[in-house]
Structure 1
Amino acid sequence: MRVLISGAGGLIGSAIGDALRARGDEVGALVRGRAASGLDVAWSPANGDIDVDALVANEYDAIIHLSGESILGRWTEEKRAAILDSRVDGTSLLARTIADLEPAQRPAAFLCASATGFYGSRGDELLTEQVGRGTGFLADVATAWEAAADPARA
């Protein structure tokens, strides 16, 4: 299997990449700037740019999207915008790009990270997917983030 990962250098992305390689899969990374290997794909979510030719040429079976601004640190207005934009812009770019590909060129799977922040702060309440969306900044981010993936469902 051939898999493309955004956030491939992060904690989760590097672990997934290592596990995939260990089982014999080929792994590429979405990278800002110049692609380091033939399996990597250059992109700039903030600018809405992605190397579609490399994406198509590599015939990925799956894309795993994990990248986004860290939520650690003081949540200034600038930080909040970076948290939201980094998730929504990257997800939207990938989802729209996948949707625009010919059906035979699309990966079989597009997996996009989300966050438990979707549920908001609810104390000791038992949370399941049936309880629905919470309130607050992270719930708003997760909702917009998940909606940005919708074009890839087509």
Structure 2
Amino acid sequence: MSNNNIVIREIALEDNKQIAKVIRDVLVEFGVPKVGTAYADVSLDKMAETYYGGKSVYFVIDNNGKIIGGAGIAALDNYEGNVCELQKMYFLPEARGIGLGKRMMETCLESAKAFGFEKCYLETMPYMDDARKLYAKVGFNSLDEPLGNTGHYSCNVWMIKEL
């Protein structure tokens, strides 16, 4: 796939249905539990509203009107400190392996810095190897335990990066 028609942009209301399907499809593809992960988040069907205003933003990957991935930044839930969380970064197979993960990470981390966050935290699954490699490549380090309380108790890999 060529990157020529692909745009990373902020989510719009009309993207809600497509991005919810992308996220659920990827989670099912990887055999992720439907409880204790993003799959069960009530915000999944109203992402544009969830990330509107404040120190949060969600970006989608738009390929000629088809949403093929996304990721967002928001303050880490139930945590005292100036830490954001990289949230709901999921790509359909056609968006993988062509540099979009790196571009999305740069876009999200630039926003986190602009919001004034000092660190960025994330949670993932141990078998999401390509994602974990990307996170490490951009400077995320492993943690021994989770920060805050995101409600994603099935995600047992925790990472953090200084911004």
TM range (shorter): 0.3 to 0.5
TM-score by length of 1: 0.38
Higher strand share: 2
- Report the structure, 1 or 2, having the larger helix content: 1
Query: How high is the TM-score relative to the length of structure 2?
Result: 0.36
